[in-house]
């Protein structure tokens, strides 16, 4: 199984490892907990995230929708070139900021 580590500090969530179909359930549940307690916009720091597949991208869309219901937004920072390319190809960069 691929390792995924999620840590939160304030309204920034740090991800490391890989997000794929094997661990997307953990990813979804951890983000759900963070969103429930969010008091502001959420920043996802991908500086240590190596890979994300379509299952992970789908979860990000769900997170985005839940945050909109709370009048919050989401942005992704420090994504590697591969992940930035995925966001461009899938047009997810039109839903939330990718830096």
If the chain, 99 residues long, is cut into consecutive pieces of 10 residues, what is the mean pLDDT of each piece?
Answer: 56 90 90 86 93 95 94 95 96 93
DSSP string, 21-84: TTTHHHHHHHHHHHHHT--S-EEEEEEEEEEE-HHHHHHHHHHHHHHHHTT--EEEES--HHHH
Residue range 4-98 forms a domain whose CATH class is: alpha beta
pTM of the shown model: 0.87
Quote the pLDDT of residue 9. 63
Residue-range domain boundaries for the chain: 4-98
Quote the pLDDT of residue 90. 96
């Amino acid at each position: 199984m691929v390792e995924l580590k999620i840590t939160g500090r304030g309204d920034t969530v740090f991800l490391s490892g890989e997000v794929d179909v094997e661990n997307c359930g953990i990813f979804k549940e951890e983000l759900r907990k963070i969103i429930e307690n969010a008091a502001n916009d959420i920043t996802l720091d991908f500086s240590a995230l190596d890979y994300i597949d379509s299952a992970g991208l789908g979860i990000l869309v769900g997170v985005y929708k839940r945050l909109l219901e709370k009048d919050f937004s989401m942005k992704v920072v420090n994504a590697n070139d591969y992940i930035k390319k995925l966001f461009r190809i899938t047009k997810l960069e039109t839903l939330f900021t990718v830096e």
